[in-house]
Structure 1
Amino acid sequence: MHRLLLQRRWLRAIALALLFTLACLALARWQWDRRAERVAAIELVRSNYDRSPAALDAVLPAGAASLPAERTWTPVAVSGQYLASSTLLVRHRQHGDDGYGYEVLVPLRLDDGRVLVVDRGWLAPDPATADAPSAVPAPPRGTVSAVVRLRPSEPVDGRGAPAGQVQAVDLPGTVRAGVAASAGAATAQRLVTAAYGELEDGTEQPAPSARPPAAPLEPSQDEGPHLGYTVQWLLFAVGAWVFLVVHLRRAAYEADVAAGRRERRAEVVVRDPDRVPTDEEVEDAAVEAMIAHARREGERQLGR
């Protein structure tokens, strides 16, 4: 077999198997990392989602540049006045089985003067135009208290949007610009850019006469297919070498038979693996083996 390993075609096969294995291992690692990220996100939901509401300053102090990752989904109690004229709609947001629509963002001027963006819920597109909702329920007037779950600012999207709409909850960018356009630069400067709040259903006091449907009761805790894909790529990596070894052993056997170093094994064809071969099948296989042996002996005698 070692002679075969030095042949160019088998060297190429080994090199290809090595490259294929490295690619499979890289893909397995990538899927494992995605699973680790998903598990970490699920742990945040399990740890924080159902906690008792805390004070905003205890979770997100004034001036904080970003929301600590371990505080995502933490409920906080807030109080202030909604800036209804600065309402923004986030485009292309899925809501359960209802399809894609718009999240409704309304800035809430807190009692300490900061402005916290609150996601009050989801609205379907206008069925007549398949565009922005025809009407957006107004938030309660005056001083409002509520419980919101903190979520971090989203990455910059880069795409444009019609006036009053944004493509992502990009707090330091498009959201701040939208607030500045409607409420002025001074209000926009007081905007909390480290996080926004997702309103917990039924916690607004006074209760509004109408409000957008709330977000789903709880984020999905499904890990996804990443673990299965990781195992799949590892099996592919092992399978490449099993395939190579099987074919290499087959080639070595054929080379030994051709060189006369080994007799070809008699092969009995059995159509049904649960059936015992008949006497005729055994005899046919033996005759074929004898003929093959006689042919090799004749060739050897002629070679002398």
Structure 2
Amino acid sequence: MRFLLRPGWIAFVVAVLAFVVACYTLLAPWQFGRESERDATQRAIDTANETPPVPFAQLVPGDEIDPDAVWRQVALTGEFLPGTETLVRLRTLDAAPAFDVLTAMRLTDGRVVTIDRGSVPAGPNLTLPTYPPAPAGPVTVEGRLRVDETDPNARPPLVENGVRQVYAVDSRSFAEVTGTTPVTGVVTLAENTPGVLRAIPIVVPSGGAPFTNFSYGLQWITFGAVALVALVIFIRLELLQRRGKRESKGSLRDALSGRDQDDDRTPTPHS
């Protein structure tokens, strides 16, 4: 087994063991965690679907939407502030480029809420879209509570042809570009409610059909086990190969020295 102390074998064994450790401590738990998150999100959506809308102030008494209340259906009464409309870039609608439309709504209690009116398809050659304005005057709308998204690239808001644009459905970016002070979080409008465009579908992100994150976690566990078995097989093959070489060298030395013939010679009795 001294061959295992050679640099090449040391590097190989370390690489295999590092992969196995990663499979069992990082990759598989990561996929199982994502599966748990998806299950929790689906349960929250199912619960929200079974619960009728309640007044916004009942679930959001302060200036921030509670993450535990996400997906709950609420009713809001107030007025849209059309001068605050902002487009969210890099969205999709029916697998085609689109924008989301954010608009501030001032509630009867004086608070401002960031409203996602829904999606609109991009114009020709990805130009900015046209869409109907939010209704004027007092109105009651229904929607779902959401927490802010985060742009992974932290891109700042921009203005193109006088149109404000951001890269995430985020009340903080919306506040920065519009100068408002909204409640932290967003309300996405439901279908058939005043001001809605194309309602955002309520779906749980999948782990990649037809497989789920749970199956991917099992795959990483299997990969780790296969790597360990392969390591044992390679070591055993190396041992067998080295043993075979030693035996063949011994046979060659015996043949050259004639010892193999002496061993086969039958002794004769003396008369």
TM range (shorter): 0.7 to 0.9
Q: CA deviation at 1:101?
A: 1.1
Q: Which amino acid aligns with 2:145?
A: L
Q: Any residues of structure 2 matched to 1:1-304 within 5 Å, and which?
A: 2-5=1-4, 9-25=8-24, 26-63=26-63, 66-97=64-95, 99-127=96-124, 129-133=125-129, 135-155=130-150, 157-162=154-159, 163-172=163-172, 174-180=173-179, 188-189=180-181, 191-192=182-183, 194-204=184-194, 212-216=197-201, 218-220=202-204, 222-224=206-208, 225-260=212-247, 298=255, 301-302=258-259
The worse-fitting range, judged by mean Cα deviation, of 159-168 and 53-62 is 159-168
Q: Specify every segment of 5 or more residues in structure 2 that has no aligned partner in the other structure, as ranges.
A: 263-271
Alignment partner of 1:35: what SS?
helix
Higher strand share: 2
Q: Which amino acid aligns with 1:108?
A: M
Deviations 1:32-87 (A, max 9, x none): 33333333333322222442111212211123xx3222211110111111112221
Identity %: 28
Summarize the Cα distance change of 1:219–1:250 in structure 2 as closer, same or farther, 3 Å threshold: same
CA contact (8 A) 2:170 2:186 kept: no
Question: What CA distance in whole angstroms lies between the structure 1 residues aligned with 2:13 and 2:256?
Answer: 35
CA contact (8 A) 1:4 1:252 kept: no
Alignment partner of 1:251: what SS?
helix
CA contact (8 A) 1:161 1:167 kept: no
Equivalence for 2:269? none
Q: CA deviation at 1:164?
A: 2.1
Q: CA deviation at 1:93?
A: 1.2
Q: Which amino acid aligns with 2:229?
A: V
> How many matched pairs?
251
Deviations 1:85-124 (A, max 9, x none): 2211111111233x12111112111111111121112111
Q: CA deviation at 1:150?
A: 0.7
TM-score w.r.t. length of structure 2: 0.79
TM-score w.r.t. length of structure 1: 0.71
Summarize the Cα distance change of 1:18–1:223 in structure 2 as closer, same or farther, 3 Å threshold: closer
Summarize the Cα distance change of 1:302–1:168 in structure 2 as closer, same or farther, 3 Å threshold: same
RMSD (CA atoms)? 2.9
